[in-house]
Structure 1
Amino acid sequence: MAAVLLGVSACLAALPAGAVAPVPAAPARTAPSPTAPSPTTPVIDEEFADPDVVEVGGVFHAYATNAHGRNIQHATSTDLVRWTVDATDVLPDVGAWVTLDPPGRVWAPEVFDNGDGFTLLYTARDRAGGRQCVGSALASSPDGPFRPVGEGPLVCPTEDGGAIDASVHTENGTRHLLWKTDGNCCEKDTWIHLQPVSWDGTRVTGEPVRLIKQDRTWEDRVVEAPTLVRRNGRYVLLYSAGDYRYDGYATGWATADTLTGPYVKGDLPLLTTESFSGAIAGPGGQDVVTGPGGQDRILFHGRGADRSRRMLYVADLGFADGRPVVRGSKARHEAELARVHRATVRQARDAWGDRAVGHIDEPDSSVEFRVFAASPGPHTLSVRYGNGSLDAAGAPAAATHRLTVNGADAGAVDYPYTGWDEWRTREVPVELRAGWNTVRLAKGERYTELDAVEVA
């Protein structure tokens, strides 16, 4: 079976995160939202950053970084799409170890059912050491109010810059805490750690293990906001990277065969401003939850047309042989995975550097590739091409490829003339099923070189 083609894609902090001055609380309201998940339409169209979601009795509870005069925000939904934003602060008291000077430094909540109630983990500024650290609080209900536990923070490595962005992963009866050293506060490394904790998450019970740190150019010296899931027998670690204030903030991924690693990062990030074609800027702070019907969903914040606020988005999530795939987000695959039928593949140099270029020259030649869709439905096929064809009179002429999807005729892709030294993109709608799909481009009229194919 063929795999993805030459650059083919499958669809698929100096300031603290969410630092805002307190403002009067707004009344409770139901946020307008679409009737089905749309990856580029916010489901909460206001500041709701660093989301965490827990499902209790068919109701999804979302928590977010401070805003609107609340230390921790709270919203509820039954479908992950239509949300009611609560007017109360579920963490009204941050604990004696916390200083709120300056204000707006409570963020990145994580809530889970501990069997006897609910635990909230949160990031706040430690009064003694002056660094951001992770604290814990308990409540009898996911609606709160949560009350801080202990006289000090749960995790607070002051010498490494502090700790932020707690999340949990539970396996074989053991609760594990993930957190990040806030080394970017003081020109140190930022490590994501895994550490065993008590079942209610209020005490650490073992030493932390380092999983990954910043080592990619696109990460801009920061990794943070870990989320760990196990799918298809592999551990998938999602994380955010970069400066959350700018469009370069993005979501990356790494996989491992064992809980403690080693974790191998993906070649390219999962969610970026570019992967959403600019419709969402700086996507990050993600969480993963199983939604209605058993569909995995990823919830994350991002900036839409209004770049001043980080809103809540939700998208279908799938795993292609362990690799995460998000509907609506384009992610490139490597050229060597292509299968070319009765055609040639050569290396050509363009503005992007060395890139495989596919020639579909012979009458029965074609290029076949596989793409993974997180969920079924309409998608967009984008083909980056170059066409220098001439007609019989020597004039510039359009070219075409015949398109089939899963063996069914899907029409033709037409390519206006570009010349052989220019790349352009053509987009056509395609209908995909959930999981793997086979897409083929076959010889049509005249000739076109292929540089990259994306499906989103």
Structure 2
Amino acid sequence: MIKSISVMVALLALVAGCRQPSKKETKQAEITYSNPIDVAFGDPYILDNGDGTYYMYGTGGGAKDGFATYSSEDLINWEFEGQVYTGNTDSSWNEKWFWAPEVYKRGEKYYLFFSAQWKENPTNEEENFMIGVAESDSPTGPFIDLFDRPIFNPGYPIIDANVFVDDDGTNYLYYSRACWKHPVQSEVADWAKAKGWYDEVEESWVYGVELKSDFSGVVGEPVLLLRPPISMDDQQAEWESRSVTSQEINRRWTEGSFLFKKNGIYYIMYSANYYAGKNYAVGYATGSSPLGPFTKAANNPVLQKNVDQGGDVTGTGHNMVLFAADSTEMYCVYHGRTTQSGQERVVFIDPMRIEEDGTLVVDGPTTDAQPLPFTKK
């Protein structure tokens, strides 16, 4: 009997030694990560579901005529959950070019804000983008259009919706007016025309407006918040004009805005330059109210290509900010390109912080090993 027990103990020990580590144990063993994350999204947005699970949404990522999502418990290892919204149907208001989704949890419901081409296009405009909202009982969908129309029509094409709820419960919608048929006079435009490069330079501008609590429309008129500099001696002009000065294209962008409040200050981050080019970069501005006025920061851009410093990353932009549950830590989530990814956009997650003087700093782009998000002590 003693010999039998000894053999059994030995077998149990052998089985235990051969046991595969659990998913939780594997994650605990991963003490570092490196960018890019293994998700090919443009315009990434991460929802903290509040139950230990995160959901990432973005442009592309395996979705056809809509959006897909990935889930994760550690922000590094992501599992594809499938398509969560499908447009371009007989009943949808949209038909193509599904961009920049953001999902917000309100009570037990989830709301997907996104950009797409509006079917209602009597003058056959090439860019007829509008912003819509869809609703679901689950972060993995299916999301169904809340209305059979865009949220509102300001009279020009718009993209890149971002929603902010202020301390008093008021909702605000931020978006970018598309460059389409929006030529703007500026010293940069005059300079480019004098060189024989472009007859005109189109621009996109960021606006903000109060949003109705049921998301059915807006309150009042949109307010212009951010635009490219008019003067070439403006300290922001060099980095915000690189698409033109490098002869990439005759457009200057101000898009991909994301607003948050920290220490009583409203921060609005935004992307500039050609979204498909190497010069795409991120800056920010600050203000004392959700609708500004906003002042662009002296340390812009806070996120840009690093190939000039021997790195491997270009096209960094369209970011969002992910906060720890207690708001003590914050991360910048954005897309970029590497030599390996080519023109495919991939996701980066890098630490960011607000200095004591209110200066915003992003520690990126990085591709080297660093601690897992929200694990620093």
Corresponding residue for residue 125 of structure 1: 117
1:66 aligns with 2:60: yes
Corresponding residue for residue 228 of structure 2: 214
Aligned partner of 1:285 among 298, 309, 318: 318
* Cα deviation, residue 275, structure 1: 8.0
Partner SS state of residue 217, structure 1: helix
Corresponding residue for residue 18 of structure 2: none
Q: 1:246 to 1:189 in 2, by over 3 A?
A: closer
Please give the alpha-carbon distance, in whole angstroms, between the structure 1 residues aligned to 2:212 and 2:271. Answer: 26
1:299 aligns with 2:357: no
* Cα deviation, residue 205, structure 1: 2.8
Corresponding residue for residue 174 of structure 1: 170
Partner SS state of residue 42, structure 2: coil
What's the CA shift string for 1:248-268, capped at 9, x where partnerless?
A: 011111111222222111232
Corresponding residue for residue 369 of structure 1: none
What's the CA shift string for 1:209-253, capped at 9, x where partnerless?
A: 111112223223110000011112211111111101111011111
1:318 aligns with 2:318: no
Q: 1:120 to 1:308 in 2, by over 3 A?
A: same
Task: Letter of the 2:342 partner, please give it.
Answer: R
Partner SS state of residue 91, structure 1: strand
Corresponding residue for residue 139 of structure 1: 136
Please give the alpha-carbon distance, in whole angstroms, between the structure 2 residues aligned to 1:35 and 1:223. Answer: 38
- The count of residues paired between Structure 1 and Structure 2 equals 294
Counterparts in 2 of 1:353-432, with a 5 A limit?
none
Corresponding residue for residue 4 of structure 1: none
* Cα deviation, residue 310, structure 1: 0.5
Q: Which has the larger radius of gyration?
A: 1
Q: 1:83 to 1:202 in 2, by over 3 A?
A: farther
Corresponding residue for residue 47 of structure 2: 54
Where structure 2 has 5 or more consecutive residues not aligned to the other structure, the ranges are: 1-25, 184-201, 230-236, 242-251
For the 8 Å contact 2:41–2:345, the answer to whether it is kept is yes
Please give the alpha-carbon distance, in whole angstroms, between the structure 2 residues aligned to 1:153 and 1:260. Answer: 22
Q: 1:135 to 1:276 in 2, by over 3 A?
A: farther
Please give the alpha-carbon distance, in whole angstroms, between the structure 1 residues aligned to 2:206 and 2:177. Answer: 7
Superposed CA RMSD in Å reads 2.6
For the 8 Å contact 1:175–1:197, the answer to whether it is kept is yes
* Cα deviation, residue 116, structure 1: 4.2
Task: Letter of the 2:303 partner, please give it.
Answer: L
1:193 aligns with 2:228: no
Corresponding residue for residue 418 of structure 1: none
What's the CA shift string for 1:259-297, capped at 9, x where partnerless?
A: 222211123201100388432211111011113674211
For the 8 Å contact 1:211–1:261, the answer to whether it is kept is yes
Please give the alpha-carbon distance, in whole angstroms, between the structure 2 residues aligned to 1:75 and 1:287. Answer: 16
1:79 aligns with 2:74: yes
What's the CA shift string for 1:367-388, capped at 9, x where partnerless?
A: xxxxxxxxx98xxxxxxxxxxx
For the 8 Å contact 1:250–1:269, the answer to whether it is kept is yes
Task: Letter of the 1:313 partner, please give it.
Answer: F
* Cα deviation, residue 184, structure 1: 4.4
For the 8 Å contact 1:132–1:156, the answer to whether it is kept is no
Partner SS state of residue 37, structure 2: coil
Please give the alpha-carbon distance, in whole angstroms, between the structure 1 residues aligned to 2:342 and 2:181. Answer: 24
Corresponding residue for residue 363 of structure 1: none
Greater helix share, 1 or 2?
Answer: 2
Counterparts in 2 of 1:89-108, with a 5 A limit?
89-94=83-88, 96-100=92-96, 105-108=97-100
TM-score, normalised via structure 2 length? 0.72
Q: 1:36 to 1:85 in 2, by over 3 A?
A: farther
1:183 aligns with 2:179: yes
For the 8 Å contact 1:214–1:223, the answer to whether it is kept is yes
Aligned partner of 1:269 among 298, 301, 307: 301
For the 8 Å contact 1:284–1:301, the answer to whether it is kept is yes
Please give the alpha-carbon distance, in whole angstroms, between the structure 1 residues aligned to 2:332 and 2:217. Answer: 28
1:110 aligns with 2:145: no
